[in-house]
Structure 1
């Protein structure tokens, strides 16, 4: 049965009333007890101190005790996906959240789920910083099934809550499971990399990076250039993630780079195929074929991140001078040994990368599935609206 069909079955012939949050027969607005406290004046403790988007601190004492929904008054991180929080127990609320809970015949957890689907934009003030005033808050309507039969109403609300909470629990379990797996794979990769790249003194030759590779800076690029010339080729500049995508490329089959300036200075990057290397990224290209395996070099540079960071300067804009980078000494075993080491590490790197990419994809899929069921289960018929 579809979620929409399940809602119809739950409701049957029951009436649905759209009740404004200002109706104190169904809701309680507990704003009076809110109290903002400057960070410097808060007494450190174990009670969560809530602001517009989440817990801001932990303090002694509390303003509320029970089950409530916190609705951002101002400062929501997103206006389209408005900040709604569900809390239980003792907590401290500052003046950036409205504190609301269900009254007679209203499940507060149901109220929370519904408000996460509500469109708050029509109720926000348009002058200066967007704000949900109490005068507008009390006008927001919430669907209440069987308003004249609290017991039946709570049963319907409770079943909807059970279904939606089960999806939340499944998503949390999946996230925990995949995150644990990813952590283990990263530890495994780091362990094997450290073992395979630890050479006894005198067993291998050590050479300066500059004698084995050419280190060059990419071309000037910024967000304005990318915006004016959007395309399919990733832009590798400051940091590991692409800055954007251009309609042109300046690099092919030259995968290793190192960030030269900015917050991500010293980060080693790997980008296959055609792409655009920006002016905040060094290319590290092997000088002579047969001296270094490119995959081996990448893993060595990954392991040497701490040493590369030590070569950076952090006075003003963080920077890595190519002259200093060229002096970095790296181990150079035989080409056969390099390929053997690289093959082992590539396997673990591939597993780690696939999990890193798969984790957000799997989580996003579950969240999309949850959002679909939530929207269907909470799509109550409105006044003068025929059931579909």
Structure 2
């Protein structure tokens, strides 16, 4: 007779899985305020972790530490609310992080808890004053499955190996993708250089952005938005590679509406070079500029390539205002000047650049798809191993 038991059922071999809220198995604490000035004045060897996801959340090293041992931490608020990390050693965390310490003598593996919360925590993120949050009072309610310790250990062993393999593959693919993007940027800059466009324009007059486009002010209600059509500055991707799904969707209020062929530009920290040409209808907030063409003699994708050009972002950074959190100057952006060759020449330029962009950035083919598929395979097996329902 065929054995239809799942791998997890075989691991459990009939053993019971006890479920408890997190507060019954662990203590939860918060980090403290650690400013940039404090980091600069107290340089040392012990890492400080905050809400960012790059570099494992590390924002610097100081000469002291607040915690020593094995823990699980999570981001409490902001765009990355609900992101979970495994921590060990001597370290500190900032006030936008929470820390979980398993009760003494409880047979619960830290890595097992980390893997479980990596799936479950995001389901409990909520909106607090318009800001995504997962505070301790919500985190502590999350139910934790507690199979026998040997089962936990085996699951962790498998997931650690899968994590290492996925990370290695993703790193290799990302390196190749970075190289392709550099090649694409080279050809974009070459085609859109002043000398090249002036020759194509044959001495024609330059255009300012204000002459051919407007900032959109029309509003769309929150009930029309979802994770795919809501765009905040946090889910616009750095370095001109579009956007990703939003981890946070507002549930009330009115937002700036965008339509297909509108150009969205992140207006906070313009040096991050966040830009996306819309292919749908949706909404965004005041931290994102929505630029709409009003001149029928200009192709939307031509204007997009002009504004995705390095020269535009250098201009934008030059005129941005503010030190700690600079913003692009909306009036100065509208004064940006560029060449507009004939419609036929625009089409030729767009055709060349689109081919490079599709090869480089499209999520439906090539390296980006391979990276996405690798991550999805990992998530599939992780959820299979942790499916205790």
TM value normalised by structure 2: 0.59
Matching residue of 1:149: none
Greater shift, 177-186 or 53-62, is seen at 53-62
| Partner of residue 132, structure 1 | 136
The match for 1:195 is 190
Give the aligned partner of residue 252 of structure 2: none
Q: Tell me the distance in 1 between the aligned counterparts of 2:274 and 2:300.
A: 17
Check if 1:222 corresponds to 2:219. Answer: yes
Whether contact under 8 Å (2:32, 2:94) holds in the other structure is yes
Q: State the shift of 1:221 in Å.
A: 0.6
> Closer, same or farther in 2 for the Cα pair 1:360/1:185, shift >3 Å?
closer
Q: Secondary structure at the match of 2:330?
A: coil
Q: How many residues align?
A: 341
Q: Secondary structure at the match of 2:204?
A: strand
- Measured in 2, the distance between the counterparts of 1:21 and 1:237 equals 31
2:80 paired with 1:85: no
Structure 1 CA distance for aligned equivalents of residues 213 and 176 of structure 2 = 37
Q: Distance in 2 between matches of 1:256 and 1:294?
A: 8
Q: Which of 156, 171, 180 is 2:175 aligned to?
A: 180
Q: Which protein is bigger by CA-based radius of gyration?
A: 1
Does 2:165 correspond to 1:164? no
Deviation at 1:4, TM superposition (A): 6.5
Q: Alpha carbons of 1:209 and 1:66: their partners in 2 closer, same or farther (altered >3 Å)?
A: same
> Is 1:281 the counterpart of 2:291 in the alignment?
yes
Q: Is the 1:296–1:342 Cα contact (8 Å) retained in structure 2?
A: yes
2:69 and 2:88 in contact (8 A); partners too: yes
Q: How far apart are residue 86 of structure 1 and its match? A: 0.8
| 1:309-320 alignment runs, 5 A limit | 309=316, 314=321, 318-320=329-331
Aligned-pair RMSD on alpha carbons? 5.8
**Counterpart for residue 48 of structure 1:** 47
**DSSP-derived class of the 1:217 partner:** strand
Question: Whole-Å Cα distance in 2 between the matches of residues 78 and 369 of structure 1?
Answer: 25
Contact 1:206 1:331 in 2 (8 A): no
Q: How far off is 1:10 after superposition? A: 1.5
Long gaps (5+) in structure 2: 237-241, 245-254
Q: Distance in 2 between matches of 1:20 and 1:202?
A: 66
Is 1:20–1:141's contact at 8 Å kept on the other side of the alignment?
yes
Per-residue deviation, residues 233-252 of structure 1 (Å, max 9, x unmatched): x8999997797778xx7x8x
Structure 1 alignment gaps of length 5 or more: 146-152, 382-388
TM-score w.r.t. the length of structure 1 is 0.59
3-state SS of 2:9 partner: helix
- Of 60, 66, 70 in structure 2, the residue corresponding to residue 67 of structure 1 is 70
The match for 1:352 is 360
User: Greater helix percent: which structure?
Assistant: 2
Q: 1:2 to 1:200 in 2, by over 3 A?
A: farther
SS of 2:147's partner is strand
Distance in 2 (alpha carbons) for counterparts of 1:318 and 1:68: 44
